């Protein structure tokens, strides 16, 4: 009897509840379509009710529940009543947790880092948690899923929350932890910048070959430039705040104190040597110790470059060049090769070896056409040679036209440099011959050859 009762209940469930479930799905699909259409035209108030029903009844039906839900709640936070604002702030945090739970992947790739970092940013923006909690959530996003944690603003704030804790004398945040986190985040910025550069270079090469871009490529180029610009801006901000702490007076004692414990850690040695090099602390004997330990432990492109730098400082230019070339040979990634070549170019520039500096800058551009700083370096080399090239005052000043052309190229290939590139080009153009000078000389449209180390030419502009 009991058995037949159970079978009866089961039959009832199959016959009556299954259609009910189907009806729920149909209702959810209808509401999903309704709220999505409202959200697309930013009518978030009308989208709210059907969205709420879908979120409640069918939370796993579509990721749009969360992507549009984020926009809906942010609109209420911006435009709602005081009660709606406070309720929506709290609900937004819950929404991020539901998002990670129900849709942790998009196209089989994790989005946990992206969504969790957005949660941390919301807590920061709306002052809903202290810095320690915000940092903890940012850090969880970075440690669990660094691949999808790519937003430049959020990466910057990840480090900034730790920096603010350090400045507030939080005992849990040591200077060593601060520098370590800076290195991790700046390396992430560099990685994302390189990924964008690789995509952009494909388009630049197509343009340089004289081939027309498709509408999709044009759109992608614009997006890549916007993202590159954002990375450049936030990386500059990151460098600006760490510069206050990363002085030789702080770095040298810190690395000396921790050397013994880390002399077998190639990554620690590399980061320490890199930081000392960038802050011009490489005259200290500790830099020699770091570099020699790094090269003995893990001979690499980085350690070979630093050995080249050491030999440069000792006046051993032949040995320095040997190590620089070894560094390039050891490096397998073209974009890292480009960065090393640009570093070497800058070292030659500082030593007054202009031809060598240009040669290495051009080699860098061969590996990374979007490396705008290489064009700026060449532009500066030409401008510095204005008094040394040309057989007349007019021709000497004509060098600035050539310098301006290279400065403009920097902004063309890298939008994050556009402002400084244009400003530099304008400065050089201002030093070049004026229209009055051209009229007086009567050489409009003629070609001026520079027979100095530049070994190039420029056409006099038309009036």
Domain range list for the chain: 1-103, 130-246, 248-298, 385-463
CA distances from 140 to 59, 184, 305, 319 (A): 24, 14, 35, 46
pTM of the full predicted structure? 0.82
Report residue 132 as tokens. 């320690």
Sorted by sequence, the CB contacts under 8 Å of residue 281 that are 6+ apart come out as: 248, 251, 252, 275, 287
Tokens 């070292």 -> residue:
347
Full pLDDT tens readout for the chain, 463 residues: 444 443 343 333 333 334 444 458 999 999 999 999 999 999 999 999 999 999 999 999 999 999 999 999 999 999 999 999 999 999 999 999 999 999 999 999 999 999 999 999 999 999 999 999 999 999 999 999 999 999 999 999 999 999 999 999 999 999 999 999 999 999 999 999 999 999 999 999 999 889 999 999 999 999 999 999 999 899 999 999 999 899 999 999 999 999 999 999 999 999 999 999 988 898 899 999 999 999 999 999 999 999 998 998 888 888 988 999 999 999 999 999 999 999 899 989 998 999 999 999 999 999 999 999 999 999 999 999 998 998 899 999 999 999 999 999 999 999 889 899 999 999 999 999 999 999 999 999 999 999 899 999 999 998 7
Distance CA 259, CA 297 (A): 14
Main-chain phi, psi angles of 168, to 5 degrees = -85, 5
Sign for the CA dihedral angle at 387, 391, 393, 397 comes to negative
Main-chain phi, psi angles of 358, to 5 degrees = -65, -40
β-pairing verdict for 447-450 and 109-110: unpaired
């Amino acid at each position: 009897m009991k058995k037949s009762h159970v079978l009866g209940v089961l039959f009832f469930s199959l016959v009556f509840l299954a259609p009910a479930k189907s009806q729920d799905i149909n209702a959810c699909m209808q509401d999903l379509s309704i709220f999505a259409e409202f959200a697309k035209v930013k009518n978030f108030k009308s989208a709210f009710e059907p969205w709420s029903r879908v979120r409640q009844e069918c939370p796993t039906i579509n990721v749009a529940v969360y992507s549009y839900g984020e926009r809906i709640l942010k609109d209420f936070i911006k435009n709602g009543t005081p009660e709606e604002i406070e309720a929506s702030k709290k609900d937004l945090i819950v929404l991020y947790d539901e998002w990670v739970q129900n849709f942790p992947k998009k196209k089989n790739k994790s989005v946990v880092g992206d969504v969790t970092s957005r949660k941390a940013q919301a807590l920061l923006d709306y002052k809903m948690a202290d810095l320690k909690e915000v940092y903890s959530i940012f850090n969880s996003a970075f440690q669990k899923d660094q691949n999808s944690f790519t937003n430049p603003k959020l990466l910057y704030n990840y480090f900034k929350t730790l920096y603010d804790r350090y400045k507030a004398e939080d005992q849990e945040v040591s200077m060593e932890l601060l520098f370590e986190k800076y290195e991790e985040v700046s390396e992430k910025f560099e990685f994302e910048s390189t990924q964008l550069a690789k995509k952009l270079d494909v388009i630049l090469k197509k343009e340089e070959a004289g081939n027309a871009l498709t509408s999709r490529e044009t759109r992608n180029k614009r997006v890549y430039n916007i993202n590159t610009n954002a990375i450049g801006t936030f990386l500059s901000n990151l460098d600006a705040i760490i510069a206050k702490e990363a002085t030789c007076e702080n770095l040298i004692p810190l690395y000396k104190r921790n050397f013994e414990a880390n002399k077998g850690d190639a990554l620690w040695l590399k980061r320490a040597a890199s930081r000392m090099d960038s802050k011009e602390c490489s005259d200290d004997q500790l830099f020699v110790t770091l570099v020699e330990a790094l090269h003995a432990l893990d001979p690499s492109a980085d350690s070979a470059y630093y050995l080249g730098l050491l030999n440069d400082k000792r006046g051993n230019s032949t040995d320095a060049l040997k190590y620089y070339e070894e560094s390039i040979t050891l490096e397998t990634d073209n974009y890292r090769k480009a960065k090393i070549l640009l570093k070497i170019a800058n070292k030659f520039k500082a030593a007054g070896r202009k031809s060598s500096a240009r040669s290495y800058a051009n080699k860098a551009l061969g590996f990374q056409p979007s490396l705008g700083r290489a064009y700026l370096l060449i532009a500066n080399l030409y401008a510095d040679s204005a008094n040394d090239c040309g057989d007349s005052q007019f021709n000497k000043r004509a060098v600035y036209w050539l310098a301006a052309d290279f400065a403009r190229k920097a902004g063309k290939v890298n939008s994050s440099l556009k402002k400084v590139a244009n400003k530099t080009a304008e400065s050089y153009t201002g030093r070049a011959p004026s229209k009055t000078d051209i009229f007086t000389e009567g050489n409009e449209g003629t070609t001026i050859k520079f027979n100095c180390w530049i070994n190039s030419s420029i056409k006099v502009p038309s009036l």
